[in-house]
Each structure stands twice: as structure tokens, then as C-alpha cells.
Amino acid sequence: MKKAVIDCPCHFDPQKTFDCGQCFRFNSDENGMVSGVVGNRYISVQKCGDKLNIYGVGQSEAEEKIVPYLGLDEDYDKVNRDIEEHFGKYNDTIFKAEQVSDGIRILRQDKWETLVSFIISQNNNIGRIKKIIERICERFGEPFEQDGKTYYSFPTPSSLAGAGKENIFACGTGFRDKYIVDCAEKVSGGEIDLEEISRMNTFDAMEKLMSIKGVGPKVASCVLLFGFHRTESFPIDVWIKRVLEKYYSSGIDLNDIGNYGGIAQQYLFYYERYKSGGAN
């Protein structure tokens, strides 16, 4: 089995990072090993002191692809300072959230995979989201072998566009089948160009993403944050609404959350949802 070892920066906890709901194809075991499919590789990540063991890729691939994927090139001291500046002026909630959530990083996931994944996430729970995505990969993705086991890549836009609504539905998507089809058709047909979106300002990018059926403000902002690394994107869901009412009842200026407001959102989300024993 291929293996790489890299220096682990501060503020990185693989389990928290993959457990905070931004990624649906990874699972962690009791040894703190976190494993899942990235592109056409199955990788496992394990933190050992100030080192990070990465299995499934060689040293150069780990440094070139996995380090940016994990967001390890981002300076989280700087990130945290900016977050404290923008959220600390209201009260001390963000400092507590930062402490509890320390180690969460925003991944650089594939744009297309993130888009489909968060369409599936609506009105759904994480356990079921994961199962649906796995079935979609098994049925429409490309198989690849690694260490004697078979894994499946996330299907391409054209693969899903040609899958047929009934076959998408058969993966357990429920009413979201038509949303996935619309999304796959628009992306494979070029009507939606994800690389073009990555060059747009956040407002235009949101508008463009929301022209896909089943993509509203919450899904679009999650896709921008997790798939486009728009760390200023601040998804507002039921949990964050609760946080805003509970800790920021006199309101916060959503137009002044800084360049890393989305990371603050993750801290607050994790703080509120997982501090009292966690969810599924």
C-alpha cells in the first residue's frame, strides 16, 4: 500500500474535518483513521503527533494533491484572527466555538461532486445522504482497484445526465431525482460552466447556481463554500438560524463577516450541533 508522511500543521483534526458535514464519502474508524474516495483514489488519513500519515497515494501525489484538498496550505492562525475580528465584537460565543471546533478545515472538494451532494442533502440526514451518494457512485461512477478492493469514483456530469430519472430515483434520492437530472443536463450541456462560475463574484455565482432546479440559497452557498473554497460564503440553515437567535439575538451584520465568515459558520455549526453529544 502506498504511503506518504507530511508535516501536520496546527489546527488540523482529520476526524472533525470529515465529521462536520461538508463531505459525504469519508468515514472514520476507532483508531482515528479517516478514509474515503477523492477523485480516483481511496485515501486514509491519520494524524500522529506533528505528522500526518496518508495512505493510498505516494509522497509526491500527497504533497501536490492531497495537501491542497485537505486545505493544509491555509493559514488558520490568520483565519481565526479574521474571524475573531468580525464575530468577536458581538460577544464571546465565537471564541468558545473556535475552541470546540479547533481543527476543522474547509476541504477543497470537487465542484461538481459538491454540487450534486448538496442537492441531495436538502431535507435529508447525513446517514441517508451518504448511502444515496454511494449508490450513485456504484451505479454510474467508474470502478477502480486499489489494494485488491474495488472503489467507485463520483460519476461525471454526462454519466448522470444519461442515467435516466428512474435510475437516479432508484438510488433512493426521492423527490430530488429531477433536481439531479436538471443539474447534470445543465452541467454536461455547458449551460452551467463550473469553471466560469469559479471566476464570478459571489453574488453572480449564487444566481447562476440557483438557476439549477433544487438549488436554493442554502445549497448554493454550501457549494460555494465547500466546492469553490469561497470561504466568505455563509450558508444559513436551521442550525445557524438557531445559533443566530440564541447567541446573536440583537442581530449581526451579514455584510461584514470578513473573508472567512464561512469558516466561522462551520465553527458555530459544529459548536451548536456537536458540543452536546453530537448528531448522526
Least separation in angstroms between residue 149's CB and DNA is: 23
Strand partners, 52: 6, 47
Q: Please give the residues from 42 up to 81 whose contact with DNA meets the rule CB under 7 A.
A: none
Biggest CA-to-CA distance, the chain: 57
Nearer to DNA, 37 or 120 (CB): 120
Contact flag: residue 20 with DNA (CB under 7 A): yes
Q: Is 17 in the site for DNA (CB under 7 A)?
A: no
Q: Is 269 in the site for DNA (CB under 7 A)?
A: yes
Q: How far apart are CB 7 and DNA at their closest, in Å?
A: 27
Question: Which range, of 76-84, 192-200, 235-243, 253-261, touches DNA by CB under 7 A?
Answer: 235-243
HSE (side-chain half, CA atoms, 13 Å) at 201:
2
Q: What angle do CA 161, 217, 12 make, to 5 degrees?
A: 90
**How crowded is residue 207: how many other Cβ atoms within 10 Å of its Cβ?**
13
Q: According to the binding rule CB under 7 A, does residue 254 interact with DNA?
A: no
Instruction: Name the residue nearer to DNA (CB basis): 38 or 107.
Output: 107
DSSP letters, 19-80, are HSSS-SSEEE-TTS-EEEEETTEEEEEEEETTEEEEESS-HHHIIIIIHHHTTTTS-HHHHH
Least Å from the CB of residue 252 to DNA = 16
Per DSSP, the three-state class of 267 is helix
- CB atoms closer than 10 angstroms to residue 203: 8
Q: How far is CA 183 from CA 12, 178, 188, in A?
A: 33, 8, 8
Query: In this chain, which stretch among 78-86, 136-144, 184-192, 263-271 interacts with DNA, using CB under 7 A?
Result: 263-271
Among 220, 224, 263, 264, binds DNA (CB under 7 A): 220
List binders of DNA among 120-179 (CB under 7 A). Answer: 121-128, 169, 172-175, 179
Size of the site for DNA (CB under 7 A): 37
For residues 121 and 222, is the Cβ–Cβ distance under 8 A? yes
Q: How many CB atoms lie within 10 A of CB 251?
A: 9
Select 54 or 116, whichever has its Cβ closest to DNA.
116
The three cell numbers of residue 115 are 454540487
In angstroms, what is the minimal distance from the CB of 253 to DNA?
19
Total Cβ atoms within 10 A of residue 255: 6
We find the least distance from the C-beta atom of residue 240 to DNA, in angstroms, to be 6
Assess 216 for contact with DNA (CB under 7 A). Answer: yes
Q: Does 266 bind DNA (CB under 7 A)?
A: yes
Q: Which of 218, 244, 248, 259 binds DNA (CB under 7 A)?
A: 218
Binding site for DNA (CB under 7 A): 20-22, 121-128, 169, 172-175, 179, 210, 212-220, 222, 235, 237-240, 265-266, 269, 279
